[in-house]
Amino acid sequence: MAGVALGFVETRGNTGTIMAIDAMLKTANVELVQRVEIGGGYVTALVRGEVGAVKSSVEAGAEAAARVGELVCTNIIPSAHEEVFEQLGVKK
């Protein structure tokens, strides 16, 4: 079963998000779940994997995004509830 930890990196503007996704996928063994756009320039990159991998990749992703664009916030949910996964349209 894939890791259940979810990592979020949210930036304003897409360049930062693409940099963050690139850094995250290279840093650790995580899987890109979704890139969510909610208007107003807010774009969120969402990765999943083991807690340790997600933690290190989110840190790297946040740093990469901050260098290029405007980093809004980052978050790690170690073990999200199934309904949250269902919201994202992903199997836990």
Partner 1 sequence: MYDALGIIETLGFTAAMQAADAAVKSANVSLGKWLKVGGGKVNIIIRGDVAAVKAAVEAGVQAASKIGTVEAHVVIPRPADKLAKKMPINPLSADKKQ
Interaction site with partner 1 (CB under 8 A): 6, 8, 10, 36, 38-42, 44, 72-75, 77, 80-81, 83-84, 86-88
Q: How far is the CB of 66 from partner 1 (least distance, A)?
A: 15
Least distance from C-beta 22 to partner 1, angstroms? 19
- Whose tokens are 């349209």? That residue is 89
Question: How far from 83 is each of 8, 80, 88, CA to CA, in Å?
Answer: 17, 8, 9
Cβ-based nearer residue to partner 1, 41 or 52 = 41
Per 3-state DSSP, what percentage of the chain is helix, strand, and coil (rounded to 5)? 40, 35, 25
